[in-house]
Amino acid sequence: MAGKGMKAFQNLFTRHREISVALILILEIAVFYFILREPGRKSTFLNVENFILVFKYSGIYGIAAIGASMIIIAGGIDLAPGAVIALTTVVTGRLFVQDGMSLPLAAFLGMMVGMCSGMVAGFLVTVVKLPPFISTLGVMGVWRGLAFIITQGGFFDLSHKISEDFSLFGIPNMYWPGLLMVFLAIIFHFFMVYTRWGRQIHAVGGNETAAYFSGVKVGRIKFLVYLVGGLLASLSGLTLAIVHGQGRADLANGYELDIIAASVVGGASLSGGKGSVMGAVLGSLIFGVLRNGLSQISGLTFYERLIVGMVVVVIVIIDQLTVKKETRTV
């Protein structure tokens, strides 16, 4: 009886998954606000400083998640981002600290790490025709291994060469991951929704054969997403190196799975064809807020991982239920 309005409301959620993901984020913020509030004192959770902190950490995941979600939408999977991030910090760190290169040059060469990773993964998937899981698992191992070989158990300390109040284009260091994430999210959202290539990426993930029969150059599209995925992972590594001031082989350990989880929470389907860049970024923010909030609740240190794991499953279950409801009414 609720009629058209209700239907339109439902459609809004199923068509624009980002809205329901954003609602979950708002709900999450509200929950932490109430848990952490202390009457008569300024909230330690809901304030500008903490907000910037959340964006700073989420940004590192989020930038890589943009690429990962594109790969997932194209029907692939990428296990390499964590290793790419680590090797990027190491390469940039070494060139900047040990070889005395200028930061822009070191950073540019650091980005080559991601470009190579994307090209190798893309080559293995499209030309050698290995499954994406295996291709990127291989890249992950080799890249992480290279990072350890270069550092030889040590690390490159960028922080003493980058002053505390380092800024780029007048914007302080700590704002960069979050700003970059938002900027790239807008660019790539536009790319995925409004360009020919974006549409072809969705088509390849939805039904590779039908896309091929429609004239899509499937190999090129796949290569492209792995390349972009690698570059974005490297960019994420670069921000990590500059913000943290370190180039270490054991950084970003396990990030690949957190990044995939962020994409899935943001609405991507691991069977391909579905998902969005915005969703993946919102997913990263959900995890960022969760980690930040949990760390402020005393006595939860050892429970953090368990809670994060459960939240992923619960969000995806809720999502599955809404999808099922939708197909039943058809």
* Beta carbon of residue 102, minimum distance to another protein (angstroms, whole number): 36
DSSP string, 141-153: HHHHHHHHHHHTT
Segment holding 168, helix H or strand E: strand 167-168
Q: Which is nearer to another protein, 140 or 278 (CB)?
A: 278
Piece in contact with another protein (CB under 8 A), picked from 94-102, 111-119, 168-176, 267-275: 267-275
Compute the distance between CA of residue 110 and CA of residue 88 in angstroms, rounded to an integer: 5
* Beta carbon of residue 211, minimum distance to another protein (angstroms, whole number): 7
Is 266 a binder of another protein (CB under 8 A)? no
Coil, helix or strand at residue 167: strand
* Beta carbon of residue 203, minimum distance to another protein (angstroms, whole number): 6
For residue 294 the two structure tokens come to 């949990």
Q: Which is nearer to another protein, 159 or 207 (CB)?
A: 207
8 Å CB contact between 264 and 24:
no
Q: Which is nearer to another protein, 175 or 197 (CB)?
A: 197
Q: Which is nearer to another protein, 152 or 329 (CB)?
A: 329
| Ramachandran angles phi, psi of 159, nearest 5° | -65, -35
158 vs 63, 78, 143, 284, 303, CA distance in Å? 21, 28, 21, 26, 33
Is 269 a binder of another protein (CB under 8 A)? yes
Among 5, 153, 215, 254, the residue binding another protein under the rule CB under 8 A is 215
For another protein, the binding residues in 170-209 under the rule CB under 8 A are 194-196, 199-200, 202-203, 205-207, 209
Is 219 a binder of another protein (CB under 8 A)? no
8 Å CB contact between 85 and 251:
yes
Among 152, 163, 298, 329, the residue binding another protein under the rule CB under 8 A is 329
Compute the distance between CA of residue 207 and CA of residue 126 in angstroms, rounded to an integer: 16
Is 330 a binder of another protein (CB under 8 A)? yes
Is 298 a binder of another protein (CB under 8 A)? no
**Which residues in 202-245 belong to E strands, given as ranges?**
none
* Beta carbon of residue 325, minimum distance to another protein (angstroms, whole number): 11
Is 152 a binder of another protein (CB under 8 A)? no
Q: Which is nearer to another protein, 160 or 196 (CB)?
A: 196
For another protein, the binding residues in 226-265 under the rule CB under 8 A are none
In sequence order, the 6+-apart residues with CB closer than 8 A to the CB of 111 are: 88, 231, 234, 235, 238
- CA 10 from centre of chain: 28
Q: Which residues of 97-112 are buried (b: 16+ CB within 10 A; e: fewer)?
A: beeebebeebbebbbe
8 Å CB contact between 206 and 272:
yes
* Beta carbon of residue 214, minimum distance to another protein (angstroms, whole number): 5
Compute the distance between CA of residue 330 and CA of residue 327 in angstroms, rounded to an integer: 5
Q: Which is nearer to another protein, 93 or 279 (CB)?
A: 279
Is 163 a binder of another protein (CB under 8 A)? no
Is 2 a binder of another protein (CB under 8 A)? no
Among 212, 291, 307, 308, the residue binding another protein under the rule CB under 8 A is 212
* Binding stretches for another protein (CB under 8 A): 15, 194-196, 199-200, 202-203, 205-207, 209-217, 269, 272-274, 327, 329-330
